[in-house]
Amino acid sequence: MLRFTLERLVGMIVTMVLVSMMVFLIMEIPPGDYADRYAFRKYSGTGIAITEADIEAIRHDFGLDKPMVLRYVDWIGNIVLHGDFGQAFAFETDVIKVIGDKAWLTMAILFGTLLLTYLVSIPIGIYAAVRRASAADYGLTIFSYLGLALPNFLLALIMLYFANLRFGADIGGLFSAGMADASWSFAKVWDLIKHLWLPAFVLAWSAVAYQIQTIRATMSDELNKLSVTAARARGVPETRLLIKYPARLAINPVVSTIGFDVNRIFSELPIVAVVLGLTELGELLLNAYLDLDMYVAGAILLMLTFVIVVMNFISDILLAWLDPRIKLGNN
Amino acid sequence: MLKVENLSISFRTDEGLITPVEDISFEVRPGHTLGIVGESGSGKSISTKAVMQLLPGNGIISKEAKILYTDKSGKVMDINKLGKKGRAIRAIRGGEIGMIFQEPMASFSPVYTIGNQMVETIRLHRNVGRKDARRIAIGMLDKVGISNPEARIDQYPHEMSGGMRQRAMIALALSAGPALLIADEPTTALDVTIQAQVLDLMRNLQRDLSMGMIFITHDLGVISHIADDVAVMYLGTIVERGPTDKVIHEPAHPYTQGLIKALPSVDRLHDRLTPIPGDIPSPNERPTGCPFHTRCSKTIVGLCDRHQPQILQVGEDHTVRCFLHEKQGRATA
């Protein structure tokens, strides 16, 4: 297991290096750079004529005139060695300060959603498979098709409407008024959790529906395996038997798609965030691109891909732990 | 030690109720082996599953059936009354009656070591700690002829060869010390040479542990090596039952006679085999009358296709369900 983990860890680091290069390249793709944008902002409408030399000077001030390879090495070096993600030009401060809390809140939404997805879909999927062809099973199937059919921004609106109407609660945003600017404390974390369930619910909705069907299918297969009958024939009590034998293998496809789920949540988050009035990274990323504020965009892209790569690593390790044939096949 | 009377098994299906096993009775004597022979689809496997209450959810055991089992302490109970769940039936599964299957690879869970599954079984039925259970497991692996059991116990099923896995599975089924072992075609998936080894092993184990055994197979040749008594099944009924010697040498039912003729033998190398014509019908198209009359060479038209033959005695402990023995059977009965 140790060797398998180390191999995967090396693989993860190599992936991260390649990803960081790609992220940097993507940042370079839009025509022009922040020097153009800066000059335009500062001088448009003032009547002052700008020459190519002036822009060159600005470019030099921002350090954007150096060759791309050098800038990449500087950029990644500072991130790895000093945790310094560079300058956020448009905000005239460090990228870290701009992203800061938004990154943590995005992570909170992400992990809240993942946790909710798996805690709900795995037990329900197993239950549906065990009670196959019962009323409960059919009910759950209808529910999950509904889940797959309903777009989540619509669900977000519906939820918002009902939450306000029924509970009179202000659940837009991630904090209550007054809490948003308070410093981190237990009360603030609790406030966050109270607000987090709604976006987590909205984002988890379709994944839960999908994963219930996955688990139900694999669990049904596993339940028919001879090894389950054999364990029953040895007198293993039913609940323990279900968890130890079929369920352990049935959650395999869910574990192996953790990375996809993270990816999906990141892509769906911005639109849900707009509806629910959340502060998260997606909107910032979009604006950073519009402003050609490349280090902000780069930092966000790097963070998101980093999370996906790490979650894939965790998913690999979990898979090998769930099914020892995987790591043995590897050696 | 196990006496099954009037066992019928039905399944609820989309096409209605089908009854693949109808009114069978058999008995296993302590320390003896009952062989059950029959083609696939004859109901031999599900009959023994019913004994363990292991039928799938849509399977029903007839109410009037009696599955009388005498446990190690001498208490007699009717397994048919125990139901599929609960402590009583779980104590029997594994602890009183062990079961081994045709596919050793499929009957082990691939994600746990051999030892994990053995220790689990031992601790479910015997009041011992983890260490003692492991010691018992290693002893059992040694007993079934697995070399270096201290290392093998921590291996996964896929790290073993086919013959070794079959040995490990026998060890697993025996680890909790059952008094009766049900072996469902345990040698069918093995090479002939390994088949002989495993048969030998099972016979020795049975003698050493003085267990009763039910040995299911479609191979009469195997039966003649291992079984004391034999029951021949055709389409859900037992057509002939008796001591192995008698049934093999003086087969009374045309189906048993056909099975013996269809058996390849080294002595008759140049003779053509005589197969039984036709296929076994599916349980939901069971013929009226004697179920075998559609393939029987001695069918009495107007009798066999209309009436179900009764069980007739043709010798000491030797019974048959066939009209051909009607007079003779009445005479001895």
Q: Which of B89, B111, B160 to mutate to test the interface with A (most CBs of A within 10 A)?
A: B111
Under the banding of pLDDT at 50, 70 and 90, the label for residue A170 is: low
* Model pLDDT for residues B85-105, shown as the tens digit of each residue: 889 999 999 999 999 988 877
Which domains does chain B possess? 2-234 (3.40.50.300), 251-332 (no CATH)
Residue A100: pLDDT over 70: yes
User: Mean pLDDT for chain A?
Assistant: 85
Residue A113: pLDDT over 80: yes
Q: Provide the pLDDT for residue B328.
A: 60
ipTM of the complex: 0.88
Q: Which residue of A has its CA nearest to B105?
A: A227
Residue B29: pLDDT over 50: yes
Give the pTM: 0.82
Is there a contact between A240 and A304 (Cβ–Cβ < 8 Å)? no
Residue B332: pLDDT over 50: no
Least confident of A9-23, A84-98, B8-22, B268-282: B268-282
Distance CA A191, CA B108 (A): 49
* Helix ranges restricted to H, chain B: 44-51, 87-92, 104-107, 114-125, 130-143, 149-152, 162-174, 192-209, 220-226, 244-249, 254-261, 326-332
Distance CA B46, CA B7 (A): 11
Q: Which residue of A has its CA nearest to B175?
A: A234
B120 in A contact zone (CB under 8 Å): yes
> Measured on CA atoms in the order B301, B306, B309, B310, is the torsion positive or negative?
negative
Q: Provide the pLDDT for residue B39.
A: 86
* Model pLDDT for residues B219-256, shown as the tens digit of each residue: 888 898 899 999 999 999 999 999 999 999 999 999 99
Domain ranges of chain A: 2-95, 96-330
Under the banding of pLDDT at 50, 70 and 90, the label for residue A144 is: confident
Which among B103, B111, B121 is the nearest to A234, CB-wise? B121
Domain A96-330 CATH (choose: 1.10.3720.10, 3.30.300.340, 1.10.260.40, 3.40.50.11720): 1.10.3720.10
Distance CA A43, CA B94 (A): 87
User: Mean pLDDT for chain B?
Assistant: 90
Residue A241: pLDDT over 90: yes
Residue B333: pLDDT over 50: no
CA distance B79 to chain A (A): 14
Share of chain A above pLDDT 70, in %: 95
Which among B98, B108, B120 is the nearest to A227, CB-wise? B108
Burial of A143 per CB tally in 10 Å (0-12, 13-18, 19+): middle
Asked if B106 and A227 come within 8 Å (Cβ–Cβ), the reply is: yes
B124 in A contact zone (CB under 8 Å): yes
SS3 content of chain A, % helix, strand, coil (to 5): 80, 0, 20
Q: Which residue of A has its CA nearest to B92?
A: A235
Under the banding of pLDDT at 50, 70 and 90, the label for residue A329 is: low
Which among A230, A238, A324 is the nearest to B85, CB-wise? A238
Mean predicted confidence (pLDDT) in B258-272: 77
